[in-house]
Amino acid sequence: KPGGMLIYNSSLIDRKEGRDDITVIAVPANDLASELGNTRVANMIVMGTLLAKTKIVGVESIKKALRQVLPAHRHDLLGVNEDAMKRGAEYVK
């Protein structure tokens, strides 16, 4: 809707035309995730971008939620997910 925000993965989407009534942010999420060594965290790069641009929720809240929703045998992924959020935030600063 007008005044909204669109964050898209420019590693996958070549956007040719656009709207001027919303904020559009292109983030090469797959490329940035690859730099971190795990392309599966591209979604968390976009999350970091969203948090940096909107402050809709704090990073610590997301970290806490990750600890709660990831099964114990996946807690080894907490670090790379946190790094991905940080990288997404840094990309748009």
Question: Which helix H or strand E contains 5, and what residues bound it?
Answer: strand 5-9
Spatial neighbors of 28 by CB under 8 A, at least 6 apart, are: 9, 10, 11
Write down the CATH number for the domain with range 5-91. 3.40.920.10
Q: Place 19 in a pLDDT band, splitting at 50, 70 and 90.
A: confident
Domain extents in the chain = 5-91
CB 88 within 8 A of CB 44: yes
Per-residue model confidence as pLDDT tens digits over 54-66 = 999 999 999 999 9
Q: What is the pLDDT of residue 16?
A: 73
Per-residue model confidence as pLDDT tens digits over 24-73 = 999 999 999 999 999 999 999 999 999 999 999 999 999 999 999 999 99
User: pTM to 2 decimals?
Assistant: 0.91
What's the CA angle centered on 81, arms 64 and 12, to 5 degrees?
A: 135
Question: Nearest-CA neighbor of 24 among 5, 37, 41?
Answer: 5
